[in-house]
Amino acid sequence: MTGEEIVALSKKHTLFEWAAQSTVDPIPVARAKGIYFWTPEGRRFIDFNSQLMCVNIGHGDERVIRAIEQQAATLAYVNPTMATEPRARLAAKLADISPGDIEVFFFTNGGAESNEHAIRIARLVTGRQKILARYRSYHGASAGAITLTGDPRRWTSEPGMPGVVHVLDPYHGIERGWSSADESLAMLDEVIQLEGAHTIAAFILETVTGTNGVLVPPDGYLEGVRDLCTRHGILMICDEVMSGFGRTGEWFAVDHWKVVPDMITMAKGLTSAYVPLGAVGLRRPIADHFATNVFWGGMTYGSHPVACAAALAAIKVYEDDGLIENARRMGALMADLMTDLALRHPSVGAVRSIGLFGLIELVRDRATHAPLAPFGGSSREMAALAEFFRQEGLYTFVRWNTFFTNPPLCITEGEMREAFAIIDRGLEITDRAVN
Ligand SMILES: Cc1ncc(COP(=O)(O)O)c(C=O)c1O
C-alpha distances out from residue 297 to 118, 239, 290, Å: 10, 19, 11
**Ligand 1 center to 198 CA (angstroms):** 29
Rounded to an integer, the average pLDDT of 78-100 is 98
Q: Determine the atom of ligand 1 nearest the C-alpha atom of 140.
A: 6
Rounded to an integer, the average pLDDT of 69-93 is 98
Q: Determine the atom of ligand 1 nearest the C-alpha atom of 109.
A: 10
CA dihedral 294, 106, 222, 362 (to 10 degrees): -130
Confidence grade of residue 31 (pLDDT, cut at 50, 70, 90): very high
pLDDT of residue 235: 99
Confidence grade of residue 88 (pLDDT, cut at 50, 70, 90): very high
Rounded to an integer, the average pLDDT of 35-57 is 98
Confidence grade of residue 100 (pLDDT, cut at 50, 70, 90): very high
**Ligand 1 center to 143 CA (angstroms):** 13
Q: pLDDT, tens digit, for every residue of 261-275? A: 999 999 999 999 999
**Ligand 1 center to 278 CA (angstroms):** 10
pLDDT of residue 253: 98
Long-range Cβ pairs for the range 149-154 (8 Å, 24+): 150/212, 151/211, 151/212, 151/376, 152/375, 152/376, 153/18
Q: pLDDT, tens digit, for every residue of 198-232? A: 999 999 999 999 999 999 999 999 999 999 999 99
Q: Which amino acid is at 201?
A: A
**Ligand 1 center to 352 CA (angstroms):** 20
pTM, 2 dp: 0.98
Q: Which amino acid is at 386?
A: A
Residue 397 Cβ inside 6 Å of ligand 1? The answer reads no
pLDDT of residue 430: 98
Residue 112 Cβ inside 6 Å of ligand 1? The answer reads yes
Whether the bond into 346 is cis, omega within 30 of 0: no
Q: Determine the atom of ligand 1 nearest the C-alpha atom of 113.
A: 11
Mutation pick for ligand 1 pocket among 54, 139, 397 (CB with most ligand atoms within 8 Å): 139
